[in-house]
Chains A and B, each alone.
Chain A
Amino acid sequence: MKDKGPLIPRNRDAHPVAYDPGYKTSVARSPNLPLLSMESSPSEETGPTFGHGKLGALDNNLILNWTKGAAPAVGERILMHGRVLDENARPVPNTLLEIWQANAGGRYRHKKDTYLAPLDPNFGGCGRTLTDENGYYQFLTIRPGAYPWPNRGNDWRPMHIHISVYGHSFGQRLITQMYFEGDPLIDHCPIAATIKNRAQLDALVAPLDLAHSRPLDYLAYKFDIVLRGRRQSMFENKLEGM
């Protein structure tokens, strides 16, 4: 098998800090000691693959998938779409994306969510899909509502959709959140503020995409995702076993 090269080391400055007292739960859940850095190995350069066989026809349609198509969810109908690329700007095809979110009122269908906003009997809140050969994906869903959370006295999460991506290797594994253009809560959110590089936070904000909206049906938001790439080299200067 041809060596596709090690993963490009993660630029930790592009990511949130682990310890951030503004986000209280991070205080006791962040390592104190530095991470151990080294070049990737097969354990990080390989990863699980998923075929279409596991996926159902409505898995990427959150408006219909909870009721198996019987009744649509309530709320703002939106298309969430975009591409998954790597740091070398190459598309990442056939990779699994999973999303989960609250309903239009900000309530999650999870046994631990006790927020007083009601559940929508026609909305479950999770979806999954595979990117196509160009790294493109799409979900049809309901725009989630903002919701309060027990952090500081009056903290509210901006509208967001959680996203989990595999890429083609375990070392590319990533979970993030998509925010929505113009949401004033983004600048008040301690979780968003764990990202200290403003350009990196802005890259989590999906713009309204009227060109991909469907008239009289749904609005679109575009969200591209960049995963780690691999470093290729024509040179092999290390001696065997070094």
Chain B
Amino acid sequence: MEASKVIHAIYTDDDILMSAVKKVKEERHHIEEIYTPFPVHGLDKAMGLAPTRIAITAFMYGLVGLTVAILMMNFIMIEDWPQNIGGKPSFSYLENMPAFVPIMFELTVFFAAHLMVITFYLRSRMWPFKNAENPDPRTTDDHFLMEIAVHGNEKELESLLAETGAVEINLVDKAH
């Protein structure tokens, strides 16, 4: 196991954090992670994170749900047992389609919503009984923590971070 060191810089204000992120990015240091108690608008842009693609997955899940609804209703109501129920025309799917639209709609939404949420959990590695990966419990309350990898340039980094308004700078050994 190779032990590597990271610096934890702690801030108490999201505006100061944002300007610090911009400065650190300008100096071309790699920010490993940022822990915040609440969503900070524009932080992902400042960090240069790639935009999420979860909306695209949701769209595709919706199409899956729509397909499931159509195939299911077509098989049950039209192919398998085309009964005359109250005079509804069960000769073809299209003829009876308006009656299936509520189901088509709901299943589209159901698949899109639930599968997207599950995708979100998988991609962000969240599940019950998972050990919290929190380096400092204060970041869930009122502190912001920026984690930067150190490659023998700790002095330079520390002075840079102190300049940006960090209230606390810790050098941490992190076992990978």
Q: Do A and B come from one complex?
A: no
Interface residue ranges, A against B (CB under 8 Å): none
Binding site for A on B (CB under 8 A): none
